[in-house]
């Protein structure tokens, strides 16, 4: 009789069976999440540090309340490409694929001006949304940064970035960098083959500077290289959340625009348009 019962059970799947399976499935998913990226993960501490940038401060009474941004004054820019050169030297970028581009453009009335573009560090960054492994993510201070050790090189972020700010390392980086040492020395490592890279707003300067009590945008050692070198002061860097910072003042006093506003990416880089016919 027991045999008969067993044979019957083989053919039918009771409601309890199904519920058990669903519960077991859901349970294992939750467990996997907790163990890999959740609170139980051995990596969680590391990850938290990477995202917050400066763990010591976030635990103290002062919480991070910054949002680093840049203003580029297209009216002042003379197209000297100093920013491109020092960026390429400081971050040891492939000179053929600069992070920071400078191009000559014409306005609707035929007036020539120069346009330059770092990574815009969008607050709603498409690259952050599409990355399958969170290799590119937002820090609490608004910067969009890359984890080169996590990137799998699928290039979806490159496809999704509306501003062409991302470059892929198609081969081993053994290029000559002609801008070193004239325009600066390499302050960060070259990226390995097979990952995507982009402008970081010189994150290494910001983090090191703030540890020493410097203010990015005011102290040169804590400010991106491209901002420091600009001979006409066309680039202004600082804290967008601080109303008294110079950058906030400039944004309030000028009619600024952002690139492709209609996409809703909320870039942290603002442009002052060129005045016509100067």
Partner 1 sequence: MSSSTLVKKPISYNPGFLAWLAFIGLCLTIGIVSGIWVLSNGLIITNMSDNVPWGLWITIDLSAIALGAGAFTLSAIVYLFGIKRFQPIVRLAVFVGFIGYTAALLTLIMDIGRPDRFWHPWVYWNVHSVLWEITWCITLYLTIMVMEFAPVIAEARFFNRWPWVRSFAQVLHKFAPLFALLGLAVSLLHQSSLGATYGIVKSRPIWFKPSMPIMFILSAVAVGPALTMSIAIIVEWITGKKTIDQNILRTIARFSGFALLVYAYIKFWDLASSTYYAPTPAVASSLSMLNQMTPYTFGLWFIEIIIGIIIPVILFLVPQFNRKPANLVLGTACAVIGIIANRWNVTVTGLFVPLSYSPGTLYKLTPGFYSPSLIEWGVVIGILGYALLMLTLGIKYIPLFDNPEH
C-beta of 97: minimal distance to partner 1 in Å?
Answer: 7
Torsion over CA: 42, 48, 169, 209 (sign)? negative
Strands 269-272 and 68-73: parallel
End-to-end CA separation in angstroms for the chain:
100
Minimum CB separation of residue 244 from partner 1 in Å reads 30
CA–CA separation, 202 vs 236, rounded Å?
14
**Tokens, residue 87:** 């960026």
Residue in the structure block whose two tokens are 């348009």: 273
Q: Which is nearer to partner 1, 60 or 110 (CB)?
A: 110
CA distance 17 to 23: 10
Give the shortest CB-204-to-partner 1 separation in angstroms. 23
Cβ at position 146, least distance to partner 1 in Å: 13
Distance CA 60, CA 62 (A): 6
Closer to partner 1 by CB, 108 or 243: give it.
108
Beta carbon nearer to partner 1, 161 or 236: 161
> Which is nearer to partner 1, 41 or 58 (by Cβ)?
41
Closer CB to partner 1, 23 or 159, in the complex: 159
Contact set with partner 1 (CB under 8 A): 10-11, 13, 18, 21, 33, 36-37, 97, 103, 105-108, 110, 113, 115, 117, 126, 128-135, 150-156, 158-164, 166-172, 193-196, 257, 259-260, 263-264, 271, 273
Gap between the Cα atoms of 179 and 94, Å rounded: 10
Q: How far is the CB of 78 from partner 1 (least distance, A)?
A: 16
């Amino acid at each position: 009789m027991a045999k008969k019962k067993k044979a019957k059970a083989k053919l039918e799947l009771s409601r309890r069976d199904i519920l058990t399976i669903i519960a077991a499935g859901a349970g294992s998913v939750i467990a996997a999440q907790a163990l890999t990226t959740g609170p139980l993960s051995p990596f969680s501490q590391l990850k938290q540090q990477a995202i917050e940038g400066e763990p010591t401060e976030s635990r103290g009474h002062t919480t991070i309340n910054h949002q680093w941004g840049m203003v580029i004054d297209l009216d002042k820019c003379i197209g000297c490409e100093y920013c491109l050169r020092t960026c390429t030297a400081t971050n040891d970028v492939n000179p053929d694929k600069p992070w920071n581009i400078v191009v000559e453009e014409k306005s609707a009335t035929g007036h020539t001006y120069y346009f330059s573009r770092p990574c815009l560090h969008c607050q709603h960054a498409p690259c952050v949304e599409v990355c399958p492994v969170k290799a590119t993510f937002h820090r609490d201070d608004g910067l969009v940064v890359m984890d080169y050790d996590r990137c799998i090189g699928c290039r979806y972020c490159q496809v999704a970035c509306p501003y062409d700010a991302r470059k892929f390392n198609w081969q081993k980086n053994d290029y000559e960098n002609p801008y070193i040492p004239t325009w600066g020395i390499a302050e960060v490592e070259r990226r390995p083959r097979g990952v995507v890279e982009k402008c970081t707003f010189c994150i290494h300067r910001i983090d090191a500077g703030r540890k020493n009590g410097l203010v990015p945008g005011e102290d040169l050692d804590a400010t991106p290289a491209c901002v420091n070198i600009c001979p006409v002061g066309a680039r202004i860097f600082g804290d967008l959340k601080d109303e008294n910072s110079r950058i906030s003042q400039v944004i309030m006093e000028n009619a600024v625009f952002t690139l492709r506003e209609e996409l809703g990416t909320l870039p942290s880089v603002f442009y002052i348009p060129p005045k016509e016919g100067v």
